[in-house]
A and B are shown apart, each in its own frame.
Chain A
């Protein structure tokens, strides 16, 4: 059974810092990995999708990498801003649709 773990569970950083969020999964036979952002009381916003054949994807200040063999993905956020404060979730698709981690709650302090 696929399990997804996100570390840390919560993170607080000063504005302007570069930061890395970690995601690990137990079954490397995945089709893709997706990073989401969730603001309080809101739905999930898709940030980046990495297909199994890809190693990374970039969008603006966000860069996500995927290492299937080790079962890991990282989300790199450059020059963090207070507006980046949210919960970040990673999810993998394998034989079953998305299996989510519990998320990392990020607070960027001005």
Chain B
């Protein structure tokens, strides 16, 4: 069974540029999460989807961040414009039975 797939693995951009991350969850998992992880910290939730509906986006900085999950499968997280402080690892996870979460490898974003 394939795990959670994320791309790209690494991204380097200049500040004020847009950037997008893509996630493909484990097949059959209805719940999808985007997390942000700073160095030396645990992941922090940005947004949670139940199928195609965003049910928890209270931690998403909506002035510059947006996300979508079309057809309740793949998801895209976008930042526009990126700021220096957005440099971090962006993790996608999905969950099925018992809410056990499985994570993708993450996208490491560097904003110059």
Contact = CB atoms under 8 A, between A and B. Distances in A.
A16 interface: no
A32 to B, nearest CB: 6
Interface stretch (B43-51, B64-72, B73-81): B43-51
A89 B33 CA distance: 17
Nearest to A31: B99
A85 to B, nearest CB: 16
Interface residues of B, number: 23
Contacts of B105: 42-43
B100 A96 contact: no
Contacts of A51: 98
A32 B45 contact: no
A103 B42 contact: yes
Interface in B32-69: 33, 40-45, 48, 56
A46 B56 contact: no
Contact of B98 (A4, A36, A49, A100): A49
Contacts of B43: 44, 98, 100
A96 B33 CA distance: 12
A34 B101 contact: yes
Interface string B76-106: 0000000000000001010000111111111
Given A41-B108, A44-B91, A97-B33, A89 B101 contact: no
Contacts of B93: 44
Contacts of A97: 33, 45, 48, 56, 99, 101
Contacts of B41: 102
Interface of A: 4, 31-32, 34, 36, 41-46, 49, 51, 89, 91, 93, 96-98, 100-103
Interface of B: 4, 6, 33, 40-45, 48, 56, 91, 93, 98-106, 108
Given A44-B93, A45-B103, 16 more contacts: A4-B42, A34-B101, A36-B103, A42-B105, A46-B100, A46-B101, A46-B102, A46-B103, A49-B100, A91-B101, A93-B99, A96-B56, A97-B45, A102-B40, A102-B41, A103-B42
